[in-house]
Amino acid sequence: MVKLYLPLFVLALAGCSAGDSSTTPTTTTTSIKTLSISGVGTTTTANETELYNLDIGGSGNSVTVKTGNKIETLELGGANNLVTIEPNVTINNFIATGSGGTAIVPIGSGIGFTDSGAGNTLIEQ
């Protein structure tokens, strides 16, 4: 019996090498949902429970973002779209890429946008 255990013990030790025991940290990438609203003349309410991106396109659409929503990036594209932001909405990046778009935000909210489009308007009320 001792003869059987000795080779197994040697094999077990061989598996324990003094090689590199460092580990590479893994990064978990969390995917953020994108809510895309497009069409012609639609009226829509955005009301999500988690952080998300909001992409508005098309023409003549009206979108209301409900209180408490958290948006990573809001892109106001297309033509002549309206987005109304209710109080206590967090927007990390707001970009107006379309033309003739209007964003209505609460007075004193500090929400603004970068206008890389043409003729977009921000109204505080």
The residues, any chain, with a CB within 8 Å of residue 103's CB and separated by 6 or more, are: 76, 82, 83, 84, 85, 94, 96, 111, 113, 120, 121, 122, 123
Q: Quick one: which of 73, 122, 118 has its CA closest to 97?
A: 118
Token readout for 96 is 């107006």
Better-predicted residue by pLDDT, 60 or 10: 60
pLDDT one-digit tens code per residue, 52-88: 999 999 999 999 999 999 999 999 999 999 999 999 9
pLDDT one-digit tens code per residue, 82-123: 999 999 999 999 999 999 999 999 999 999 999 999 999 999
Q: What is the pLDDT of residue 30?
A: 74
**Single pTM value for the model:** 0.76
The residue behind tokens 């009206």 is: 62
